[in-house]
Amino acid sequence: MKKKVTDALLIVLMLILAVSFLYPVFLILFNSLKEETSISTNTVFTLPTAETFAGLKNYWDAVTSKGFFVSFGYSLVITVTSVAAICLFCAMCAWFITRVQNKWTSMIYYLCVFSMVVPFQMVMYTLSKTADTLKLNTPWNIWVIYLGFGAGLAVFMFTGFMKSIPLEVEEAAMIDGCNPIQTFFRIVFPMLRPTMVSVGILEAMWVWNDYLLPTLVLDIKKYRTIPMLIQYFKGSYGKVEMGPMMASIMLTIIPIVIVYLAGQKHIIKGVAAGAVKG
């Protein structure tokens, strides 16, 4: 009986908390539906009325004149290429350094761990210059930079998992005549799938939302990813247009929420598994 009452109280408390967790997003949603002229700091909590309701005008503006879809495309290209490269190449590298043990491979491992801790500001200036010199400053090849900077976490997580795979399966495959390439792609790669999902999700969350790296590496006049676009609205580039900005924030959040709801089981499992490996 006592447990039932506590449980009921806890459910009510959790409901209140859940609503307050969603409120900030809801606030942006209804403000994005207001007329540009009636958005102001002191009326931010009032719902749109018949006079202030703008329909989807701000959204139309964000999409047509502010280039939202172009930015969305760039963000998508960068995230997909980077995550694919990280998952494939880092898995290969991790397999090699777990199975071949010498001073080089352990050096690679410790360098990777070290790179995870180093703050981005340490390399931001020199990295952006290196990227310019090597022409890695477009959305189509910035993945090389992301592979380099994201390798630490990925190699670390893959090696953590690799240590628990029995060596016998791979040895059997090699004795049966597989070369290392076949062994990796036919035997090891399929076994890595759960870890691959963890790594992929963590790296995708990072790349998709990353602001500073693309700002410094890409040419801001030509290419703007979504976080850069949001900052561009607010930045000192002219008058702040709150309506289209809030519409863009909503347009950014909606696909994330859809992806999240569709794959939340994997995402939450991936995060939990990733943390334990870490």
Partner 1 sequence: MEKVLKKYWPLFVVPTMAAFTIGFIVPFLQGLYLSFCQFTTIKKAKWVGFDNYIRVFTDDPEPLTDSLWFTVAFAAVSIVLINLIGFLFALVLTRGLKGTNLFRTVFFMPNLIGGVVLGYIWQILINGLLSVVGEPLLALNTTAGYWGLIILMCWQQVGYMMIIYIAGLQSVPESLIEAAKIDGATSLQTLLKIKIPMIMQSVTICVFLTLTNSFKLFDQNMALTNGEPMNTTTMLALNIYKTFYNRTGAQWKGLGQAKAVIFCILVVLISFGQLRATRGKEVQQ
> Judged by CB, which is closer to partner 1: 69, or 125?
125
* Residue with Cβ nearer partner 1 (83 or 246): 246
Closest approach of partner 1 to the CB of residue 198, in Å:
12
Question: What are the helix (H) ranges across 32-67?
Answer: 57-64
CB of 62 to partner 1, least distance (A): 13
Query: How far apart, in whole angstroms, are the C-alpha atoms of residue 183 and residue 189?
Result: 9
Residue 124 or 191 having the CB closest to partner 1: 124
Residue with tokens 């561009």: 232
Least gap, CB of 43 to partner 1 (angstroms): 8
Q: Are 100 and 164 in contact (CB under 8 A)?
A: no
Q: Which residue has the tokens 């870490």?
A: 278
Query: Half-sphere exposure of residue 233, counting CA atoms within 13 Å on the CB side?
Result: 21
Task: Specify the residue, 63 or 85, whose C-beta has the smaller distance to partner 1.
Answer: 85
Residue with tokens 């607010």: 234
> Which amino acid is located at 73 in the chain?
G
| Integer Cα distance of 188 and 161 in angstroms | 11
* Nearest-approach distance from CB 64 to partner 1, in angstroms: 21
User: Considering beta carbons, is residue 63 or 246 the nearer one to partner 1?
Assistant: 246
